[in-house]
Chain A
Amino acid sequence: MSVLLSVKYFFPEIILTGFAVTVLILGLFLKRRVVLGSFCLLGILAAVLLMPQSYRATSPLFSGMLINDSFSEFFKEIVFLVIGLVILVSMGYRAFSDEDAGEYYFLLLAVAVAMMIAASSNNLMMIYIALEAVSLMSYMLVGFLKKDPRSSEAGLKYFLFGALATGVMLYGISFIYGLFGTTDLVVVSQMLTTRNVNIFASMIALLLILAGLSFKCALVPFHMWVPDAYQGAPTPITAFISAGPKAIGFAILIRVFLKNFFPLFPAWSEMVSVIAIITMTAGNILAINQEDIKRMLGYSSIAQAGYILIGFVVGTALGIQGMMFYILAYILMNLGAFGCVVLISNGIKSDCIEEYSGLSKREPVLAFLLAVFLLSLAGIPPLAGFFGKFLVFAAAIESRYYVLAVAGVINSVLAIYYYVKVIKFMYLEEPRAGMPAYKEPVFSPAGVLAVKIALIIALAGVLAAGLFPGFFVGWISASLL
């Protein structure tokens, strides 16, 4: 489809860009975080309403650069969910000042647009550009607390690792171009089935691309940036980078590897299964000793990516369904957990797990919510995380990847320890003497209310997806590639 014709199927992205620019300008005059945030939510709502229209496109857009299929629609909805929740959570985060709220929300909406484009990219160059845009804005967001050296350090670390990873990925894409003479995924996948291709060279190319995406999804051994970036970043942004780029990374993995390079599946699946096992094991073992909850959740998110990868290695329809369900569940429970961390840190001015002692007495509702999200992350039924694990393990058993399934369940037992450790401090321990008392944050009641709304949405999602997964599975199976 030509560029001009494509535009009308591109309205959600355009409207969101419009809102992004407007909020940047508005931010010059209006220094109110809650107001600007609500304005951004309006933009997301507008984009959601425009979505059905954009899915009437029958052929790829912009000369084959983008494709609006039900798969990309699913991930765009995920992007709306993530950004919407992050905006809500950001309104109540203590460390942000109202001074630069405009820039902040501009970056969030812009990264949303970039992620939407990444989800529907149908060309390796487009994927590269979209991912690079996501990365650049993520770096800025991670280092957004300019006066906090830890935030700047986190931004820099994230940037250095990211630059290397995307560089490697671009190198891989250049191999593909050399081999196939194009970066259009549809053409490449046709060539894979009709012509003799150099398997070895394509494998190297895929390996390099995998390395770049592994950085986004925080898979071992490309996870080194995670703990520092997670700890140093403003907490709402930690929540964002643990959810948004990861989901998009997996979306691209599915599109590139499982759809277009599927003929080479046997060659790379073995290797990825090793990565999956190492990722979940390393994530879990490293998480056990963490004392900072953001670091702990960082390592836990590495482990969670390992479970998601099980579905990827299996590569069947059930495996992909499992991944997509898991990603949805993971986003709800992880953003929920970070939302609780934001509110708790407002009160106790700390992210140290030990200082959560006796929280259930001081803040019963918050402690209860965090406990639910952590138990969901641990995979306890009937919460969303359990059904996600159930689906990926089911996919592994169905296709006889027994080693992977056993590694997965052993890891979920390991993980119990550190998730429950937080619950232990909140419920089993008494508040210690000399600990900062929990104070109701005074700065912005509306902001706190916004976080609470985000938490209610996440809780409702975790319960609904856990108790009635059938509805979500139906939606997902209609969105498969």
Chain B
Amino acid sequence: MPFPLLTSIIFLPLLGGLLILFTPKDRTGTIKAIATAATGLALILAAALVLKFECGNTGMQFAERLPWIPQMNINYHLGVDGISIGLVFLTALLGFFACIGSYGIKERQKEYYFLYLLLNTGMLGTFLALDLFLFYVFWEIVLVPMYFLIGIWGGPRKEYAAIKFFIYTLAGSVFMLLSILALYFTSNPHTFNMLELAKSGGTLAKGFQLILFVGFYLAFAIKVPVFPFHTWLPDAHVEAPTPISVLLAGVLLKMGGYGFFRISFPILKDAAIYFALPFAILGAINIVYGAFVAMAQTDFKKMVAYSSVSHMGFVMLGLASMTVTGFNGALMQMFNHGVITGGMFLLVGVLYDRAHTRDLNKFGGLGANMPVYAGLLTVFTLASLGLPGLSGFISEFMSLMGGFTAFRLITIISVLGIIITAGYFLYMIQRVLLGPLNKTWSDITDINRREIFTLAPLMILMIGIGVYPLLILNFQSPAVINLIQHIGGTLF
């Protein structure tokens, strides 16, 4: 049997978490070391996975399959392909750097790192599971640690935000469970295998597909989040501690988008084609509405949270286009948004740790006192608003290009979102970094080395992909073309 690489990536964090459970709680140094080692090893293995990945191969690689519940034909089935590899790497990357970013947490560290590592296992498992039952288990496992992480270490309204997050996402996912069951019982022989269902799902009656699609949609759309299911996001983001915000924006939202790529679209392709127009409309609403709401925010974190809503709209638009370009754009946008917004949340956290406020109107002129911070914030902001040469531009452009071939008017409206985005981001820069220095912050210190260390790799990726997008397209494009051929979309 070959080395179970994927299993190791998923369960290394959990193993670390179990070790932490048996560590005395006052030995915080050991606890941090275990957590860092566990996420670090997972990152190293994920990097090895990327290096060993065969880009031209459209099938599942590193597949592992063991019977789990044979009576129901449920298997422990893992695999990685061009669609998931980027997200797996992103999760491992953010998992490691957000872990280092967690060193600032001083309360109840043992519980924190245990839950944090459990969360990592859940997220990695979600992206690697190829059995719908296993996928659902990982998907739900994510909820519980997230509830505690927001609820215990969060801001003033943490309890409300935590339970809202829990109930919202659970409400969506139980309908997904019903759709999963319906898929299982309509397949012959009964199976939860996503790959086999992708082959047989197209034969289902269209009306039935539509119902199942809606079931999955509720789960995925709430996670993305798609308007009007987005209201949990600003609450959760604002209240969550910085590293958790990073994972929320960087990884959790991607679980929804990934679900469309891996489950809804390949298995229920007739329904996907049927719902393309609503997808595009919702995408445009997300982009424009999210941007407008972001502009109105005075809370730095809330602004970034709404910018996520706006950016995830491009994923929806790219998906709706049913073109290779659009799909590539959507998938890449998920990766890029994870990197950029993850970085943005880290930067918000840096400022909040020093100023203990996130009110944009209370800052001003910080650029003079924090030059390195100012530089980093500006670069990340420019990436987020889609400046050419940085990664955000490439994926948004590709999504729009794909969208334009399918839905001209909607795409034209969506482009407006970019202008508004530029508006609120530049307005933010102006209020935080420029202008006369607010006297309250005259002795604020610049960003420290540890914080730069967490941001640097994200910036390298951001610039690297922006200059040379094939870095990521090489990995995902063959799988995307394969998927489009399978659905019957446009090979553009």
What A residues does B167 contact at CB under 8 A?
413, 416-417
B77 to chain A, nearest CB (A): 15
In the complex, what residue of chain A is closest to B179 when comparing beta carbons?
A: A397
A424 touches which of B133, B140, B151, B182 (Cβ 8 Å): B151
B152 touches A470 (CB 8 A): no
What B residues does A398 contact at CB under 8 A?
181, 185
B185 touches A393 (CB 8 A): no
Q: Interface size of B by Cβ–Cβ distance < 8 Å?
A: 34
A204 within 8 A of B: no
A394 within 8 A of B: yes
B151 touches A416 (CB 8 A): no
B175 touches which of A360, A394, A397, A409 (Cβ 8 Å): A409
B144 touches which of A380, A393, A473 (Cβ 8 Å): A380
What B residues does A397 contact at CB under 8 A?
178, 181-182, 184-185
A276 to chain B, nearest CB (A): 16
B177 touches A393 (CB 8 A): yes
B152 touches A381 (CB 8 A): no
In the complex, what residue of chain A is closest to B171 when comparing beta carbons?
A: A413
What B residues does A416 contact at CB under 8 A?
166-167, 170
Mostly, the A contact residues are helix
Interface residues of B in 142-164 (CB under 8 A from A): 143-144, 147-148, 151-152, 158-159, 162-163
CA distance A6 to B46 in the complex (A): 65
CA distance A386 to B136 in the complex (A): 11
Contacting chain A: which of B65-73, B245-253, B288-296, B349-357? B65-73
In the complex, what residue of chain B is closest to A394 when comparing beta carbons?
A: B181
B45 within 8 A of A: no
Interface residues of A in 376-390 (CB under 8 A from B): 380-382, 386, 390
B71 touches A474 (CB 8 A): yes
What B residues does A410 contact at CB under 8 A?
174
Mostly, the B contact residues are helix
A428 touches B162 (CB 8 A): yes
B137 within 8 A of A: yes
CA distance A473 to B171 in the complex (A): 27
B174 touches which of A375, A412, A420, A428 (Cβ 8 Å): A412
A406 within 8 A of B: yes
A470 touches B175 (CB 8 A): no
What B residues does A64 contact at CB under 8 A?
none
B152 touches which of A386, A406, A427, A477 (Cβ 8 Å): A427
CA distance A390 to B170 in the complex (A): 14
What A residues does B158 contact at CB under 8 A?
428
**Contact surface of B with A, Cβ cutoff 8 Å:** 67-72, 111, 133, 136-137, 140-141, 143-144, 147-148, 151-152, 158-159, 162-163, 166-167, 170-171, 174-175, 177-178, 181-182, 184-185
23 contacts across the A-B interface (CB closer than 8 A): A375-B144, A380-B144, A382-B137, A382-B141, A386-B137, A390-B177, A394-B72, A397-B178, A397-B182, A397-B185, A398-B185, A402-B178, A409-B175, A413-B167, A413-B170, A413-B171, A420-B166, A424-B162, A424-B163, A428-B159, A469-B69, A470-B69, A473-B72
10 other contacts beyond A393-B177, A405-B181, A413-B167, with CB at 8 A cut-off?
A: A380-B140, A381-B140, A393-B181, A397-B185, A406-B178, A409-B178, A416-B170, A428-B151, A428-B158, A474-B71
